[in-house]
Structure 1
Amino acid sequence: MKNLHHETLGMWLGVLGVAIFAVTLAMTRLATGTFDAPQLSPWFVTFGRAALAGGLSLVFLFSTRSALPTPAQRKPLAMALLGNAIGYPLLLGFALRQVTSGHAAVITALLPLSTAAIAALVLHQRARLGFWVFAALGSALVVVFSLLRAAGQGHGFGFKWADGLLLGAVLAASVGYVYGAQVTHALGAERVICWVCVIALPLSVPGALLTWPEHSVATSAWLGLVYVGVFSMWAGFFAWYRGMAMGGALRVSQTQLLQPFLSILAAVPLLGEPLELLTLGFALAVMTTVFLGKRYLTPAPVVLHVSKESV
């Protein structure tokens, strides 16, 4: 009974982590604004959120008396920094000035498959033919969705520039997760994200000061920045990793399937975006390919430990 309660609590912590990550898209769009009504610069949001998380990480690492990373661990941490702290939020911020949060949720739904594919290539992990088939199918669905959305909005039947940015964000996050996974066993999952944020401070703090907004910014944009800095970049990882440790990585990682739908739902009250059947349908189709594709994957436990989300 005690083990069952432990696993149930772990599952709920995993759901909490996924919910926190799911709101990232809407909060990033609040922070950056749109192309017609810009708020904070995507550069400032990227540096600002990393600086906020870095300050919290310093407190955590100091209070837990965490050891410094070894020289061998610094390269993976630096790669995780480039992917998760810089590449993903920056590309996402520019993309969300041009497309809705719901649109971005469908594209970024490829993140678990992308992470698994990068892990299979970089870490030489086994992936059967079925995985690559479903990975290709999921990618094809995203392309078709992007083409249909562009045509429906009068932009012609073509691939939008913002979709390229979103795919770049997915790739950057995947690379960051895989390299972070290489030191997760030695450092501990929570300390990996903390060290990434702390190592980024010499870049994030000056970057935030240099890109500080010179014009009036809405309160909602500042609240969006605080959310992505405190929750998306930091607290969400604690809930997610602790949930997988308590409930089992295989079971809890399946809660990722909820993330695109939670992102789409969050955008309704936060951004006033409508619920579109096309978006929901393609989100369901893409996540089905993710679910089926992962059945053909035999990764090491550490990869399942990091193949979430969202950032």
Structure 2
Amino acid sequence: MTAQNSATPTTAIAVGSTTAATSPQTRGTLLAALGVVSFSLTFPSTAWGLESFGPWSLVALRSTLAALVAGAFLIAMRVPLPERRHWAGLAVVAGGVVVGFPLLTTLALETSTTSHAAVVVGLLPLTTAAFAAIRTGRRPSRTFWIAALAGAAVVIAFTVQQSGGVLSTGDLYLFGALLVCAAGYTEGGRLARLMPGWQVIGWALILCLPLMVVGSAVGLSFEPVRLSAHGVIGLVWVAAGSTFFGMYVWYGGMAAIGIPKASQLQLAQPLLTLVWSVSLLGESLPLAAPLAAVAVLVCIAVTQRAKS
């Protein structure tokens, strides 16, 4: 059995099931939106996790735990190994969304607030769309690009207004995270057309498991551990919620509606994270956030209606 035809039995997973009353476009949009909600909790959960673990330990532990969850699903569903031609793409996914993005954003959150980091990462949709255009050869319409650039401009203006125009080391980490994550999203979205999205992130996690196990051992031996309820909850969420479940539904949505359109739904992620930052972390909500929210949601509506 190949990786392609292994997709049939795995559609039994509840979130990925399709009903006759749900169109592929609607289902794909819902899956991608659910992924965005899951990702919006990543930064607050990471901030909680940093209360108990060092940055290197937290990243290694989250990937290790997520890989164990993914491995359990792969074994239970008796999923065969992917074809050899898919491993290079899986390595890009692993480097981008399993290692690169979590590590760089975790390092950034040592000096940046979650609300500031969330707004900077709001540039991710445009970055992903650009990577997708290069990688897949698909060219979204001019209307799509105008709306995407407008959304990115709102995010940049919001960031400059909040930071006073001064970029910090944390911002450099975040910009690096944008690049590696966009590459991982693009390659994962492409692979999700060939195998179920949960298998894409599952095999990427398994690919990183040996490195992450060693990283966990080394990190825990050098960084202090101060266990707390917040720290444990944060670790569990970024592992099972953001890294596995979030990526599963996200790649499924990308496969259904296309990488450019799915990526633009992520323009709402910074605004959701701002809400979590206030409610969970007690951070103050910037006064410009409501205006940015309206402008960004308008851009999302335009990108979803534009031809891509």
Same fold (TM over 0.5): yes
Q: Which residue of 2 aligns with 1:171?
A: 179
SS where residue 193 of structure 2 aligns? helix
Q: Which residue of 2 aligns with 1:270?
A: 280
Alignment of 1:110-121 (within 5 A): 110-121=123-134
Deviation at 1:49, TM superposition (A): 0.8
Deviation at 1:3, TM superposition (A): 0.8
**In the alignment, structure 1 residue 79 sits paired with structure 2 residue 89:** no
| Contact 2:151–2:267 (Cα < 8 Å) also in 1 | no
Is the alpha carbon distance of 1:119 and 1:253 closer, same or farther for their aligned partners in structure 2, counting shifts above 3 Å?
Answer: closer
Supply the AA of the counterpart residue of 2:276.
A
**In the alignment, structure 1 residue 158 sits paired with structure 2 residue 176:** no
| Contact 2:264–2:300 (Cα < 8 Å) also in 1 | no
Superposed CA RMSD: 3.2
CA distance in structure 2 between the aligned counterparts of 1:227 and 1:26, rounded to whole angstroms:
10
Is the alpha carbon distance of 1:113 and 1:290 closer, same or farther for their aligned partners in structure 2, counting shifts above 3 Å?
Answer: farther
SS where residue 288 of structure 2 aligns? helix
Is the alpha carbon distance of 1:25 and 1:163 closer, same or farther for their aligned partners in structure 2, counting shifts above 3 Å?
Answer: same
| Contact 1:30–1:221 (Cα < 8 Å) also in 2 | yes
Is the alpha carbon distance of 1:88 and 1:274 closer, same or farther for their aligned partners in structure 2, counting shifts above 3 Å?
Answer: same
Alignment of 1:274-285 (within 5 A): 274-285=284-295
| Contact 1:146–1:160 (Cα < 8 Å) also in 2 | no
Deviation at 1:127, TM superposition (A): 2.8
Supply the AA of the counterpart residue of 1:266.
W
Q: Which residue of 2 aligns with 1:30?
A: 48
| Contact 1:109–1:286 (Cα < 8 Å) also in 2 | no
Is the alpha carbon distance of 1:46 and 1:291 closer, same or farther for their aligned partners in structure 2, counting shifts above 3 Å?
Answer: farther
- Tell me whether 22-31 or 217-226 shows the greater mean CA deviation: 217-226
Alignment of 1:101-116 (within 5 A): 101-116=114-129
Q: Which residue of 2 aligns with 1:70?
A: 83
CA distance in structure 2 between the aligned counterparts of 1:130 and 1:242, rounded to whole angstroms:
25
CA deviations 1:67-113 (Å, max 9, x no partner) are 10121100000000000001111111111222222222222222222
| Contact 1:150–1:159 (Cα < 8 Å) also in 2 | yes
| Contact 1:102–1:267 (Cα < 8 Å) also in 2 | yes
CA distance in structure 1 between the aligned counterparts of 2:153 and 2:125, rounded to whole angstroms:
16
CA distance in structure 2 between the aligned counterparts of 1:279 and 1:73, rounded to whole angstroms:
41
Supply the AA of the counterpart residue of 1:28.
T
CA deviations 1:116-148 (Å, max 9, x no partner) are 111001221113444444444444443333332
Q: Gapped runs of 5+ residues in structure 1?
A: 34-38, 152-156, 299-311
Is the alpha carbon distance of 1:143 and 1:259 closer, same or farther for their aligned partners in structure 2, counting shifts above 3 Å?
Answer: closer
Is the alpha carbon distance of 1:248 and 1:129 closer, same or farther for their aligned partners in structure 2, counting shifts above 3 Å?
Answer: closer
Give the TM-score normalised by the residue count of structure 2.
0.80
**In the alignment, structure 1 residue 184 sits paired with structure 2 residue 192:** yes
Is the alpha carbon distance of 1:55 and 1:163 closer, same or farther for their aligned partners in structure 2, counting shifts above 3 Å?
Answer: same
Deviation at 1:245, TM superposition (A): 8.1
| Contact 1:146–1:159 (Cα < 8 Å) also in 2 | no
Supply the AA of the counterpart residue of 2:205.
C
**In the alignment, structure 1 residue 124 sits paired with structure 2 residue 137:** yes
CA deviations 1:42-77 (Å, max 9, x no partner) are 222211111001001111111111110121100000
Alignment of 1:1-311 (within 5 A): 3=21, 15-33=33-51, 39-151=52-164, 157-212=165-220, 213-240=223-250, 256=266, 258-293=268-303, 295-296=305-306, 298=308
Is the alpha carbon distance of 1:138 and 1:258 closer, same or farther for their aligned partners in structure 2, counting shifts above 3 Å?
Answer: closer
SS where residue 83 of structure 1 aligns? helix
Is the alpha carbon distance of 1:127 and 1:245 closer, same or farther for their aligned partners in structure 2, counting shifts above 3 Å?
Answer: closer
| Contact 1:109–1:283 (Cα < 8 Å) also in 2 | no
Supply the AA of the counterpart residue of 1:104.
A
SS where residue 110 of structure 1 aligns? helix
CA deviations 1:233-282 (Å, max 9, x no partner) are 11223445567889999998876454332211111221111222223433
The percentage of counterpart residues that share the same residue type is 33
Give the TM-score normalised by the residue count of structure 1.
0.79
Q: Gapped runs of 5+ residues in structure 2?
A: 1-18
| Contact 1:42–1:90 (Cα < 8 Å) also in 2 | yes
